[in-house]
């Protein structure tokens, strides 16, 4: 038994994970618990229904769990002096200069007012730059004009599941975004997702190299994250992605599908693949005061509340989104001091410095709502109960 966890607690984690694996639930999962240098891993089920077994080194599409990694890369480049967090983005992303803002988020694209101020790098990191996803988009009786333009005409793939197959190369992607008005004034409110995609474009231009190379040199190589990237040749280790259908699970992306080849647009918001050990290495860096990637000051900023009460007053992903959490840089910060973020294709990543606990659950079943399915929540709760 690893010191730091109780035998009964780890047995409970195994039983709970096992209850959720198989058939029409979760075809397979890898879960990691780490506490005070001791690590426990569960690898259960299959990479695809009726397929080969899941292993500890199986690869998963981590979707929005990509976001904290993008934030760390941004802070690394800021430490290099390539930009400051409070400078306007227009030096590196002139496509977002002199913005117009919709009078109403669901209104005509031409009904706008001037932006009150420029967009800053900090706005991208905190998701307050004025464009992104809100839940009202999905309850509207008909698509908002800005949503229709962004997704159907300009192929931004920034509202809904990630889709590297349709996104154009970075210069075209950001030029397309620049043709649209903002949904809100810069700094006014939190809007999900798009900030991290724009951040990826900015990082690539600041460093003078593709975003994949920025992440490799600043994050993946220093931390030994060998299996994290925007695509993989090791498709025999990649899980099939599933979504819920009226008659059960439906394959959404096969191992030889979208993530088996380099994308035109490396989406820093939701495009990465990873493994449980790679994500643990990233978590351990943050728990270890940032070495060898970030300064302690950068880690503190990334993992602390960065929103004002006024910004949170507009809500987030649902009316109670900010009830027990806020937002740091590209990730949630819980009232308990824990931080992390989830990937809607089936992953959760939670780091609790107060308990020195990391809990990672990787599946490849798409979330049915904005909240993680029960398997993620029960394993996270069991991880705390397993502490010695």
Own/partner pairs, 296-304, CB within 8 angstroms, 24+ separation = 298/72, 298/75, 298/76, 298/78, 298/79, 301/75, 301/328, 301/329, 302/68, 302/71, 302/72, 302/75, 302/328, 302/329, 302/330, 302/331, 303/328, 303/331, 303/333, 303/339, 303/351, 303/353, 304/328, 304/333
pLDDT in tens, 342-368: 999 999 999 999 999 999 999 999 999
Interhelix angle for 276-287 vs 66-79, to 10°? 40
CA-CA distance, 221 to 362, in Å (whole number)?
22
Q: Once rounded to an integer, what is the mean pLDDT over residues 94-100?
A: 98
User: What's the predicted TM-score (pTM) here?
Assistant: 0.97
Domains detected in the chain:
7-70+210-385 (3.40.710.10), 80-207 (no CATH)
Q: Quick check: 241 and 253 in contact, CB under 8 A?
A: yes
Q: Quick check: 219 and 302 in contact, CB under 8 A?
A: no
Burial of 315 (0-12, 13-18, 19+ CB in 10 A): middle
- % of the chain residues with pLDDT over 70: 99
Q: Quick check: 145 and 66 in contact, CB under 8 A?
A: no
pLDDT in tens, 260-272: 999 999 999 999 9
pLDDT in tens, 334-343: 999 999 999 9
Average pLDDT, whole number, for the chain? 96
- Quick check: 370 pLDDT over 90? no
CA-CA distance, 230 to 262, in Å (whole number)?
7
Q: Quick check: 134 and 95 in contact, CB under 8 A?
A: no
Query: In a 3-state reduction of DSSP, which class is residue 227?
Result: coil
The predicted pLDDT at position 319 comes to 83
- Quick check: 15 pLDDT over 80? yes
Alpha carbon distances (Å) from 122 to 31, 72, 87, 195, 358: 33, 13, 8, 10, 27
Q: Which of 237, 240, 239, 241 is nearest to 226 (CA)?
A: 237
The predicted pLDDT at position 2 comes to 45
The predicted pLDDT at position 217 comes to 98
Q: Once rounded to an integer, what is the mean pLDDT over residues 296-308?
A: 98
Q: Quick check: 244 and 119 in contact, CB under 8 A?
A: no
């Amino acid at each position: 038994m690893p010191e730091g966890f109780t035998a009964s607690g780890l047995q409970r984690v195994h039983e709970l994970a096992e209850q959720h694996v198989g058939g029409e639930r979760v075809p397979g999962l890898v879960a990691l618990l780490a506490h005070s240098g001791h690590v426990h891993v569960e690898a259960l089920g299959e990479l695809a229904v009726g397929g080969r077994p899941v292993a500890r080194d199986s690869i998963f599409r981590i979707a929005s769990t990509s976001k904290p990694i993008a934030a760390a890369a941004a802070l690394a480049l800021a430490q290099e002096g390539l930009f400051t967090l409070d400078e306007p983005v227009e030096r590196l992303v002139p496509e977002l200069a002199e913005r117009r803002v919709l009078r109403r988020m669901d209104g005509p694209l031409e009904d706008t007012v001037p932006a009150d101020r420029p967009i800053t790098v900090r706005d991208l990191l905190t998701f307050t730059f004025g464009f992104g996803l809100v839940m009202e988009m999905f309850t509207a009786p008909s698509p908002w004009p800005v949503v229709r333009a962004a997704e159907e005409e300009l192929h931004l793939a920034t509202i809904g599941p990630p889709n590297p197959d349709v996104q154009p190369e970075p210069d075209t992607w950001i030029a397309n975004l620049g043709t649209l008005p903002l949904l809100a004034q810069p700094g006014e409110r939190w809007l999900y997702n798009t900030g991290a995609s724009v951040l990826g474009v900015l990082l690539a231009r600041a460093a003078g190299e593709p975003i994949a190379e920025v992440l490799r040199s600043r994050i993946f190589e220093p931390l030994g994250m060998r299996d994290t990237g925007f695509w993989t040749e090791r498709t025999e280790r990649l899980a099939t992605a599933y979504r819920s259908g009226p008659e059960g699970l439906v394959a959404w992306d096969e191992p030889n599908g979208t993530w088996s080849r380099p994308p035109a647009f490396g989406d820093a918001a939701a495009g990465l693949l990873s493994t449980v050990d790679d994500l643990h290495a990233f978590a351990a860096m943050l728990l270890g005061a940032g070495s060898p990637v970030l300064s302690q000051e950068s880690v503190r900023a990334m993992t602390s509340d960065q929103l004002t009460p006024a910004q949170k007053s507009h809500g987030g992903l649902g009316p109670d989104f900010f009830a027990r959490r806020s937002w740091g840089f590209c990730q949630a910060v819980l009232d308990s001091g824990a931080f992390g973020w989830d990937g809607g294709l089936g992953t959760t990543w939670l780091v609790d410095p107060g308990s020195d606990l990391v809990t990672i659950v990787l599946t490849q079943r798409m979330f049915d709502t904005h909240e993680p399915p029960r398997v993620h929540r029960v394993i996270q709760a069991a991880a705390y109960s397993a502490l010695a």
